[in-house]
Amino acid sequence: MNSRPFSSTILAAILCIQLFQLTVYGSDASNKLYIVYLGEKRHNDPKLVTASHYEMLTPIFGSKEEAGNSIVYSYKHGFSGFATMLNESQAQILSEMPDVISVTPNSKFTAHTTRSWDFLGLDYNSKDNGLLQKANYGEDIIIGVIDSGIWPESESFDATGYGPAPKRWRGICETGASFGASNCSNKIIGARWYAKDMSSSDLKGEYLSPRDDNGHGTHTASTAAGKAFIF
Ligand SMILES: *[C@@H]1O[C@H](CO)[C@@H](O)[C@H](O)[C@H]1NC(C)=O
Ligand SMILES: *[C@@H]1O[C@H](CO)[C@@H](O)[C@H](O)[C@H]1NC(C)=O
């Protein structure tokens, strides 16, 4: 059920969310933090992107130094933009500049939930009428996960009580380093790994097998199809 793919391509999604609002910064308390979005970056060198931000603000502040002091964050990798302390008229001037796509006052965000089941209104605790029961505990469902591999010894993948895989299953259990045929079971019904075209430095520290070195694939696979511990 699990493949061992591209260790170097696991995406760490880094969400830069400003969870708080800076209301006082610099000398003028009437200044507020604005997010200035400039779209695609025009330079590959992050230093040049930041320099262009300073340049853009210099006429508004009258000096490069003051412009620099007003910038709180400079966004220079995925896109071009910056967060800066401005008063209303400065924000207005900036928003009218041809290279500026938007100037938005900073706002406060809070996490919706850290409990997805509750957030979705799912009653996972009820033995008789809960979601898991309605879904027949996932009976006969095969879930494939493309990720960093799997750790078969994890209790989440305990096969106790499981019958054989559904007849329609055509997969295989590919073995390799620290991953023998016994690592597949009636729970982990198949596993493959893919490492062709990877350099030895890409593969450093990795098992040449479906075994999970960094834990990411084990986490996602057990989230999707792990044993329920809640009863
Ligand atoms: C914003 O700051 C500039 C420069 O200090 C000043 O000239 C302007 O009057 C200020 N505008 C507001 C609305 O405070
Ligand atoms: C998985 O395979 C390895 C290598 O053959 C073995 O040492 C380990 O005990 C196996 N684990 C399970 C849960 O079967």
Ligand 2 pocket mutation, candidates 151, 178, 184, criterion most atoms within 8 A of CB: 178
Question: Domain-by-domain residue ranges, the chain?
Answer: 1-25+112-231, 32-105
Atom of ligand 2 nearest to the CA of 153: 13
Backbone angles phi, psi at 141, to 5 degrees: -95, 130
CATH class of 32-105: alpha beta
Length of the chain counted residue by residue: 231
- The protein residue with its alpha carbon nearest to ligand 2, atom 12, reads 183
Mapped onto helix, strand or coil, the DSSP state of residue 70 is helix
Ligand 2 lined by 177 (C-beta under 6 Å): no
3-state secondary structure labels for all residues of 10-21: CCCCCCCCCCCC
Q: How many Å apart are CA 137 and CA 187, to the nearest integer?
A: 13
The tokens describing 134, both together, are: 């309605």
pLDDT in tens, the chain (231 residues): 333 333 222 322 233 233 333 333 444 668 999 999 999 988 899 999 999 999 999 999 999 999 999 999 999 988 999 999 999 999 999 999 999 999 999 988 877 777 777 787 777 666 666 777 788 888 899 999 999 999 999 999 999 999 999 999 999 999 999 999 999 999 999 999 998 878 888 889 999 999 999 899 999 999 889 987 754
**179 CB-contact burial (10 Å; exposed 0-12 / middle 13-18 / buried 19+):** buried
